[in-house]
Amino acid sequence: MKEEAQYRCPWLDTTKPDYVEYHDHEWGVPVYDDQLLFEFLTLESAQAGLSWYTILKKRENYKNAFANFDVNKVAAFTEHDIEKLMQNAGIVRNRLKIVATINNAKCFITIQEEFGSFSDYQWRFVGNKPQVNDLETLADYPAVTEASTLFAKDLKKRGFKFLGPTTVYAYMQACGMVNDHSNNCFRKEEVKKLG
């Protein structure tokens, strides 16, 4: 029996099976686990100026390069670690982004100490529940919102780097702070139930 075609978000390149897998199982699912949040934060900041798919293809390499996204280990990286990362062809070898990841790990830990978890801190920006957006077409997708602007501003004040309002909005979409599946995407209602 032929599988029924499912409609997916208009931004998704359905010719890339790994991209479809990410969309169908991860994108927009609410995340409350700090280690996974640090992973998404790291990957989104690495993505600045590049396509998300470029980073998605390198995700496993990032996991290996950045101590499985153990925030305490990354925060302890030294100049020697930075030099090793600069030789790692499996990640984006941008010194500023690498240094920013280590810096962001330290800032992340400070937030954990202040709020109990990074999750508790970040979910305040959407009133502690996923915001569901009304999206029909690609043109309906915002690049920045009031919440992402406030969140980015607060992160910057706390010392984070490479996390402007646009990058932060992409992060909010990825970790389910907003449900930005299009209205006719089969994941819209499934993800809604998870929130």
The binding site for Zn(2+) consists of 9, 23, 181, 185
Task: List CB contacts of 93: < 8 A, sequence separation 6 or more.
Answer: 85, 86, 87
Annotated binding-site members = 9, 23, 181, 185
CA distance to 5, 54, 81, 167, per residue, from 171 (Å): 28, 15, 26, 6
> Among this protein's residues, is 39 annotated catalytic?
no
Residue of 52, 53, 141, 190 with catalytic role: 52
Dihedral (C-alpha) 165, 156, 106, 108: value to the nearest 10 degrees? -50
Alpha carbon distance 178, 159 (integer Å): 24
Residue of 19, 27, 39, 44 with catalytic role: 44
> Among this protein's residues, is 52 annotated catalytic?
yes
CA distance to 54, 100, 101, per residue, from 159 (Å): 26, 10, 11
Tell me which residues are annotated as active site: 22, 44, 52
